[in-house]
Amino acid sequence: MRISHNMIAGNLLRAVQTNLEGLIRSQERMSTGKKVNRPSDDPAAANHIMTLRASLDINRQYTRNIDDGLAWVYETDAALNDATGLLQKARELAVQGSNGTLTREDMAALARQVDGVIDGMTNVANHALGGKYIFAGTKTSTPPFVVDKDSKTVTYNGDTSAILREVAADFAVQVDAGGVVFGAAGQGNVPDGVFHTLFRLRDALDSGDHAAVGNLLGEIDQRIDELLVHRVKIGSRTNHLEALKAQLQDQEVRFTGVMSGLQDADIARVTIEFGQRQLAYQAALAAGARLLQTSLLDFLR
């Protein structure tokens, strides 16, 4: 092939340009530490990276939701534990009260203790977590239970909606136990429940009726069993949430690993690549510089 001077210059320019382009690519990878810096670098990998990033992002949110939900179930479980304790205390009082040797005054003193249990139970029913009442359904901003010991009425101001936390895609877990724990089937007057059992115990003690007090023992046991059912439910949700959390944490580690593999540049490899390209670039420059300087003119007198 016949070679013209324009060809030499043009080829040199192109070679330098190509090498420089590769050099800049390597340099970008080295300085950002990433091999996919724009979608066109590797569209499929870019898609994967974005998917993983979104998954990580939403998993973190799910983790936060689970943490929030766990606070609820822990708190609910603690409250139900308190309620059970109070009922057990009421049962002890009932056992004492059913003893036929007690005087009427002794019975009245026990009745006052039951009043204390009712107050304690009211506190439990209106228990709040960070300003939110946990047995109020979704009406968390107002105390749900109004207990009138004298007229023996209980009014529920909450609702029956569940407090839900989305903890996985399209999967929400109820994290409260609801007013139903204390017998509330809906907003308004509560017809029967834990409180009414306590009212009956107090009244039986006040009236000094040993037999009536003794008869209430079975009802109290039943209430304790009912609470246990709720605690079991909450407990199983707690287990579920904790398992999900562990799963999400495990996923985070794996996803981050996969993403790093897709996205992060292998520094050793990029460094070697950079070196090779630098060499090619310098070689192109050196060869060009020598070739362009040489001309027949150098050898003519």
Binding region for another protein (CB under 8 A): 1-7, 10-11, 14, 36, 38-44, 46-47, 49-51, 53-54, 57-58, 60-61, 64-65, 68, 132, 138, 140-141, 164-166, 169-170, 172, 263, 295-297, 300
- Cβ distance to another protein smaller for residue 169 or 253: 169
Measured from the CB of residue 2, what is the shortest distance to another protein in angstroms? 5
Cβ neighbours of 59 (radius 10 Å): 17
Which residues are paired to 153 by β-bridges?
Answer: 148
- How far is CA 17 from each of CA 24, 26, 47, 230, rounded to the nearest angstrom? 10, 14, 30, 74
Closest Cα partner for 65 from 158, 169, 138?
A: 169
Cβ neighbours of 239 (radius 10 Å): 11
- Cβ distance to another protein smaller for residue 10 or 261: 10
- Cβ distance to another protein smaller for residue 57 or 119: 57
Measured from the CB of residue 31, what is the shortest distance to another protein in angstroms? 15
- Cβ distance to another protein smaller for residue 40 or 103: 40
DSSP letter at 34 equals B
Measured from the CB of residue 10, what is the shortest distance to another protein in angstroms? 7
Measured from the CB of residue 197, what is the shortest distance to another protein in angstroms? 32
- How far is CA 232 from each of CA 77, 136, 195, 243, 244, rounded to the nearest angstrom? 9, 20, 21, 16, 18
Rounded to an integer, what distance in angstroms lies between the CA atom of residue 108 and that of residue 270? 87
- Cβ distance to another protein smaller for residue 34 or 210: 34
Measured from the CB of residue 59, what is the shortest distance to another protein in angstroms? 11
